[in-house]
Chains A and B, each alone.
Chain A
Amino acid sequence: MTAAAASTRSDALQGAPVYQLSNVGKTYARNAIKALEGVGITLTQGSFSSVIGSSGCGKSTLLKIMSGLIPPSTGRVVLQGKPVTGPRRDIGMMFQQATLFPWRTTLENIVLPIEIRDGKAAAKAAKTQARALLELVGLKGFEDTYPTELSGGMAQRASICRMLITEPAVLLLDEPFSALDELTRDFMNMELQRICSSRNATAFLVTHSIPEAVILSDVVYVMKPRPGRIAEVVEIDLPRPRTLEMMTTPKFGEIVAHIRGRLDKEAFI
């Protein structure tokens, strides 16, 4: 940790650890390429963390390991005290694309994870909960709308609901708003903050955008490539709730500049 790290730890970081990765490494057997080495990450209850790095720094490998899609080669991955050995219902995921299915209504899309895990009856019972989530994300009234009629931002709101319906212990966000235009993206980030804090969610964001990572996070992990490892952990001690206006403050600028400096040195060699 360096000078830019917070002088005082924000409240969120005092919480109990939810998701812990220690010394995680990944070597792909296919080409013997070391994608990750010695990655240690701790997500505490209610905290928002981001990982940032250039393309090929191992971000997607890290997220695949954290979501249980692939096993790590070395190290321990522990969520809520139990090792992650595959996809789990206490892991919620969101992708760059909303990935809503056009033959299902918004409501039917949201209860899909329940339908897959517990069957149709359970999915039907979960519809009440799904309606409440739609209200939370500001999509009330769109229950029976088909995804083709939703805008990009609305579709991502619905996909937030689908992620939350199983009440996961951790939210893994894979560049969720990078396909949206910048105005919508800023607005959706503030919405994401509101939704996460209202549910005291533990979130982990992968992004290419330094300002996005800084404005949302309590902690930013800066990664460098070959092999993918964590170069620096930056604590962001901007007060909460964050606002878009904070992006114009000198302090915000300093943090962004610091992270950019770290990336520039490592990423483009």
Chain B
Amino acid sequence: MSNLERIADTAANEGDTVWAEKTGWMDRVPRWVKMLLVFVIFVLLWDLVTRFRFVSPIILPTPVETFLDLIFVGQNLLSGGYMLQALWITLLEVFYGFLLAIAIGFSLGVIVGETAFGEEAIMPYLVAIDTMPKVAFAPLFVAWLGFDIDSKVALAAFIATFPIVVGTAAGLHAADTNSRNLFKTMGASRWQTLVKMKLPMALPQISTGLKIASVGVMAGAITGEFLGGGKGFGELIRVAASQLDTPRVFALILYLSVVGMGLFSFVSWLQRRVVFWQKDRVSAASE
């Protein structure tokens, strides 16, 4: 048997055992088990830190305390208690803030992305405002609109508008030369070009802007409540923190993040439905 044949022979023999199943044990563990593992390690560390008093319980509550408070807050929410009312107020702020941001952001985005005047004369100001710490405007909104939900809606919308403007404007620029020339040779009007070609082509970028905005709108509403009072969920957090009731603060934050994730998932779901042709490309890129 020549050397070459021997190599070929061993390769063939080992083919079944070594080459086909070269996955480690980690690959066979389902994803949820791994996620659960990380969670358990996290809670164990947390428990150790509090059990041996590395950190004062006023600063960091024990996992059990937090869990009990989570149940308490959950019961209050489910039984329609004062916390549900507070959550409802915050949800309204987020809803109106998001709607306002979409309306203003989309309109500005089209003006900036579609007209030369908008791009040259308006965009620089938008960029300038966007680079400011927008939360700093909160006291102004309170002064202008009072302590009711209006000032929170304004701050939430203010923060969420810019990602939508940028997404819309950038998306409108995404149309390639071929598509533009095709529409020109078909004799399409500017409006037809915008509605039948540029806007659909901009949808992937618009929805990316919406996703970023959905995170910002929550932050805006809660910050507005911290700085401008009112009766929302942010106020509950502020009061609990001022009373050093840290388990409550943690519990409230967790419920708030559920709301945030819900909003983000909704926008993602909407994106998959509306921009259905992108589905293949996104999954192909992630593989």
B181 touches A146 (CB 8 A): no
Contact, CB under 8 Å: B187 / A86: yes
> Are the CB atoms of A68 and B186 closer together than 8 Å?
no
B184 / chain A contacts, CB cutoff of 8 Å: 69, 87
A94: nearest residue on chain B (CB-CB)?
A: B182
Known: A103-B277, A116-B196, A148-B277. A95 touches B187 (CB 8 A): no
Pair A93/B185 contact, Cβ less than 8 Å: yes
Q: Which of A88, A91, A93, A103 contacts B182 (CB 8 A)?
A: A93
B178 touches A99 (CB 8 A): yes
Closest B residue to A95 by CB, please name it: B178
Contacting pair A88 B187 (CB below 8 A): yes
Minimum CB–CB distance for A164 against chain B, Å: 13
Closest residue on chain B to residue A88 by CB atoms: B187
Interfacial chain A residues near B276, Cβ < 8 Å: 103
Q: Which residues of A contact B188 (CB under 8 A)?
A: 116
What residues of chain A lie closer than 8 Å to B196, measured between beta carbons?
112, 115-116
Q: Is A20 an interface residue (CB 8 A)?
A: no
User: Is B67 among interface residues, defined by CB-CB distance under 8 A?
Assistant: no
- What residues on A are CB-neighbors of B185 within 8 Å? 67-69, 87, 91, 93
**Per-residue interface assignment for chain A, residues 50 to 88, with 1 indicating a CB less than 8 Å from any chain B CB and 0 otherwise:** 000000000000000001110000000000000000111
Q: How large is the interface on A (under 10, 10 to 19, 20 to 34, 35 or more residues)?
A: 20 to 34
Residue of B nearest to A69 (CB): B184
The smallest beta-carbon distance between B189 and chain A, in angstroms, is: 8
CA distance A13 to B281 in the complex (A): 47
B186 contacts A96, C-beta separation under 8 Å:
no
B187/A116 in contact, CB under 8 A: yes
Enumerate chain B residues within 8 angstroms of A69, measured Cβ to Cβ: 181, 184-185
Asked if B182 and A95 sit within 8 Å, CB to CB, the answer is: yes
Residues in chain A near residue B178, CB distance under 8 A: 95-97, 99
Closest 9 CB pairs of A and B: A102-B277, A87-B187, A99-B178, A116-B186, A93-B185, A116-B188, A113-B186, A87-B185, A97-B178
Cβ-based interface call for A124 (8 A): no
Given contacts A69-B181, A95-B178, A146-B277, contact A101 B186 (CB under 8 A): no
CB of B146 within 8 Å of the partner chain: no
**Could you give 29 example pairs across A and B, Cβ below 8 Å?**
A68-B185, A69-B181, A69-B185, A87-B187, A88-B187, A89-B187, A93-B181, A93-B185, A95-B178, A95-B182, A99-B176, A99-B179, A99-B182, A101-B179, A101-B197, A101-B200, A101-B201, A102-B277, A103-B200, A112-B186, A115-B196, A116-B186, A116-B187, A116-B192, A116-B196, A117-B186, A117-B187, A148-B277, A148-B280
Shortest Cβ gap from B281 to chain A (Å): 8
Question: How many chain B residues touch A (Cβ–Cβ < 8 Å)?
Answer: 20
Residues of chain B touching chain A, judged by Cβ–Cβ distance below 8 Å, are 176, 178-179, 181-188, 192, 196-197, 200-201, 276-277, 280-281
Inter-chain contacts of B183 with A (CB < 8 A) = 116
Interface of A is mostly: loop
Bound together, the chains give a CA A256 to CA B65 distance in angstroms of: 86
Q: Roughly how many angstroms separate A99 CA and B201 CA in the complex, as a whole number?
A: 12
Q: Scoring A residues 219 to 244 as 1 if CB is less than 8 Å from chain B, else 0, what string do you get?
A: 00000000000000000000000000
How many Å from the CB of B200 to the closest CB on chain A?
5
The residue of chain B having its C-beta at the shortest distance from the C-beta of A149 within the complex is B280
Closest-by-CB residue of A relative to B182 is: A99
A91 to B187, CA, bound (A): 11
Given contacts A93-B181, A101-B201, A113-B186, 16 further A-B contacts (CB under 8 A): A68-B185, A87-B187, A89-B187, A93-B185, A95-B182, A99-B178, A101-B179, A101-B200, A112-B186, A115-B196, A116-B183, A116-B187, A116-B196, A147-B277, A148-B277, A148-B280
Q: Looking across the interface, which residue of chain A has its beta carbon closest to that of B189?
A: A116
Which residues 118-166 in A have Cβ within 8 Å of B in the complex? Answer: 146-148
User: Once the chains are docked, how many angstroms separate the CA of A89 from the CA of B187?
Assistant: 8
**Which residues of chain A from 143 to 193 have a CB within 8 Å of any chain B CB?**
146-148
> Taking the nearest CB of chain A, how far is it from the CB of B62, in angstroms?
53
Name the residue on B nearest A86 (C-beta). B187
Collect the chain A residues with CB atoms within 8 Å of residue B176's CB.
97, 99
User: Please, which residues of chain B bring their CB within 8 A of the CB of A101?
Assistant: 179, 197, 200-201
Closest to A99 in B: B178
Q: Do A87 and B186 touch (CB < 8 A)? A: yes
Tell me which of A86, A99, A146 has the highest count of chain B C-beta atoms within 10 A of its own C-beta: A99
Nearest CB of A to B112, in Å: 23
Chain A residue, CB-CB nearest to B183: A116
CB of B176 to closest CB in A, whole Å: 8
CA distance A147 to B178 in the complex (A): 16
